[in-house]
Chains A and B, each alone.
Chain A
């Protein structure tokens, strides 16, 4: 009990940092046209590869420097955040809805439903996920909705596996049996009794999945398959940075730091939520 309490206190500062970063990045993305110091698409070859503000040769107004086409890095990162967050929320929620529903059905009803769903999950797990994502986007065509759909199609299994196992555990508990004796229907028990008890796991997974979705989007735009090449994306900036790494390291460093902070924040958030909701640890 004491250990659990100490653990929760220890998590708090990290949770605040994670939440603070995500809120900052999210607000910057939402208000991108107001916050960004420059037009993220404006090219100026007179301003190519300007270093960040503390180095010699920096220009005022271009805080994090410019890329090889003279585009402002900070503004591109802020606008890239829009796509990252849209993909994170939409893809994670879609994967969650599909995966949790199937997991709940497989775990609660068992039998044939479980066998079929589990077999599909097995097939899905036999694909290398990154290759599967690239393949799907190539098929669906590049664009925001394709990226979201591809991530949801691949990652629903993550929810399905966990929720199935949790639901199985819950279904064996006394309260489910009691509800059945009390005359409740199977679907009613599943939705009203079992579902609320697996929600903490769903919420924690959702936060983790958002971080994963951000990475997958970055990977897809890194191989130039995400959305149109005009719009700035974090992965697209990284791809440019990888090419000009010996001339302008900052074009790789800043998007990389942004991505790492975002992914770490999402996973910290998920961990903290799990600890907070888990009655044993609480």
Chain B
């Protein structure tokens, strides 16, 4: 049952990815700008342009180009970046860890903040504390990450300059890292001085990304908790003499968490989508920032590669959430 569900989801995932590939491929080839003309110096002859065009396969029809590209992708070859003249896959893998670290730190912050405020709000239900949490989460939800980023730049970059608002790491530092997962590696190597420097750069963009998601988690989890808190078994625990906080943490939370968990998965893809502009805002050297440069430079192979990697990330997250839900939900597990 579970396996069948998994295989069906895997198939739809492949269809979705194929669809994304087709859409990007068609969209960027309708573009009026000529990427080849942009690469060459002004004195280039028509023969030069034609030669380069053939080199990048741009002289063939769009359908031919698509299948050449697709067979390359199947072999793990995403082509060569036109503006950076490097292997696309290498470039993407070089930047992806920076974006993943940012997204994961933001996710952890969102779950911690949203979860805490939900538990406090459920405990203090009907009081001014809950009303305050509602107003704060309403504001956090209505204001998008782009604007939160700007607010944070003003508050903690200019007014009280305690965090860095530009880049991923201080440029003068000597980095001993072998992977691109700087933050995780600095923790493993116990180079906490580097961890601190990385966090000082990462905290503001991560908070900007985390706030809207924290608000969604807070609202939904608080709602589920309040519903569960009226059920008999919770009332029983209360009668047994557990304090309200104990009741919430030990009894209510595990039954109220399932709907939130599903939602967090879907919302996490929105958070990753948000990294594109937030990285730009904070000059953070991740995949999103590179994507904007690629679009501005009309770097077709690089755009295709980045969009496909983002799409792969999105469908993989959705797939794992779906599977996790099936595993955790007793009705589906036995159904």
Chain A residues positioned under 8 Å from B150 (CB to CB) = 238, 242, 252, 256
Chain B residues positioned under 8 Å from A252 (CB to CB) = 150, 153-154
Whether A130 lies near B143 (C-beta < 8 A) is no
Which of A39-93 touch B at CB < 8 Å? none
Known: A123-B19, A130-B273, A131-B310. A215 touches B144 (CB 8 A): yes
Binds A, one of B9-17, B115-123, B224-232: B9-17
Known: A126-B315, A138-B31, A215-B144. A131 touches B19 (CB 8 A): no
Chain B residues positioned under 8 Å from A253 (CB to CB) = 154
Q: Which residue of A lies closest to B32 (CB)?
A: A141
**B276's contact among A119, A120, A131, A264, by CB below 8 Å, is which?**
A131
Q: Mark B298-323, 1 if CB is under 8 A from A, else 0.
A: 10000100110011001100000000
Report how far A119 CA is from B33 CA in the complex, Å: 31
CB distance from B152 to the nearest CB of A (A): 11
Which of B116-162 touch A at CB < 8 Å? 139, 142-144, 146-147, 150-151, 153-154, 157-158
Report how far A252 CA is from B281 CA in the complex, Å: 13
CB distance from A270 to the nearest CB of B (A): 10
CB distance from B247 to the nearest CB of A (A): 25
Any B CB within 8 A of the CB of A125: yes
Which of A188-246 touch B at CB < 8 Å? 211-212, 215, 218-219, 222-223, 225, 238, 242, 245-246
**A245's contact among B158, B269, B315, by CB below 8 Å, is which?**
B158
Which of B1-60 touch A at CB < 8 Å? 12, 15-17, 19-20, 23-24, 27-28, 30-33
Whether B16 lies near A122 (C-beta < 8 A) is yes
Any A CB within 8 A of the CB of B249: no
Report how far A131 CA is from B311 CA in the complex, Å: 11
Which of A225-282 touch B at CB < 8 Å? 225, 238, 242, 245-246, 249, 252-253, 256, 259-260, 263-264, 267-268
Report how far A268 CA is from B280 CA in the complex, Å: 29
Which of B269-310 touch A at CB < 8 Å? 269, 272-277, 280-281, 288, 291-292, 295-296, 298, 303, 306-307, 310
Report how far A222 CA is from B315 CA in the complex, Å: 29
Whether B288 lies near A126 (C-beta < 8 A) is no
Whether A246 lies near B315 (C-beta < 8 A) is no
- The residue in B276, B280, B288 that gathers the most chain A C-beta atoms within 10 A of its C-beta is B276
Chain B residues positioned under 8 Å from A263 (CB to CB) = 142-144, 147
Whether B16 lies near A135 (C-beta < 8 A) is no
CB distance from B272 to the nearest CB of A (A): 7
- The residue in A130, A219, A268 that gathers the most chain B C-beta atoms within 10 A of its C-beta is A130
Whether B153 lies near A126 (C-beta < 8 A) is no
User: Interface on chain B toward A: helix, strand, loop, or mixed SS?
Assistant: helix
Whether B23 lies near A245 (C-beta < 8 A) is no
Whether B274 lies near A130 (C-beta < 8 A) is yes
Any B CB within 8 A of the CB of A95: no
Known: A135-B28, A139-B31, A264-B143. A119 touches B154 (CB 8 A): no
| Number of A-B residue pairs with CB-CB distance less than 8 Å in the complex they form | 122
Known: A215-B146, A215-B147, A242-B281. A128 touches B16 (CB 8 A): no
Chain B residues positioned under 8 Å from A259 (CB to CB) = 147
Chain B residues positioned under 8 Å from A126 (CB to CB) = 16-17, 19-20, 310-311, 314-315
Any B CB within 8 A of the CB of A136: yes
Report how far A249 CA is from B158 CA in the complex, Å: 8
Report how far A211 CA is from B144 CA in the complex, Å: 10
Chain B residues positioned under 8 Å from A20 (CB to CB) = none
- The residue in A128, A215, A219 that gathers the most chain B C-beta atoms within 10 A of its C-beta is A128
Report how far A212 CA is from B295 CA in the complex, Å: 22
Any B CB within 8 A of the CB of A129: yes
Chain B residues positioned under 8 Å from A136 (CB to CB) = 27
Chain B residues positioned under 8 Å from A130 (CB to CB) = 273-274, 276-277, 288
Whether A128 lies near B273 (C-beta < 8 A) is yes
Any B CB within 8 A of the CB of A31: no
Report how far A99 CA is from B247 CA in the complex, Å: 44
Whether B144 lies near A128 (C-beta < 8 A) is no
Chain B residues positioned under 8 Å from A127 (CB to CB) = 20, 23, 273, 307, 310-311
**A260's contact among B23, B143, B303, by CB below 8 Å, is which?**
B143
Task: List 6 additional contacts besides A134-B292, A139-B31, A215-B144; criterion CB under 8 Å.
Answer: A126-B314, A134-B295, A138-B295, A215-B146, A242-B150, A252-B153
Task: Across the A-B interface, give the 3 residue pairs with the lowest CB-CB distance, nearest first.
Answer: A123-B19, A128-B273, A126-B311
- Chain A residues close to B by CB (< 8 Å): 119-120, 122-123, 125-131, 134-136, 138-139, 141, 211-212, 215, 218-219, 222-223, 225, 238, 242, 245-246, 249, 252-253, 256, 259-260, 263-264, 267-268
Would you list 30 pairs from A and B whose C-beta atoms are within 8 A, ordered by A residue? A122-B12, A122-B16, A125-B269, A126-B16, A126-B19, A126-B20, A126-B310, A126-B314, A126-B315, A127-B273, A128-B307, A130-B273, A131-B288, A131-B291, A131-B292, A135-B24, A135-B295, A211-B142, A215-B146, A215-B147, A222-B281, A223-B292, A238-B150, A242-B153, A242-B281, A256-B150, A259-B147, A260-B147, A264-B139, A264-B143
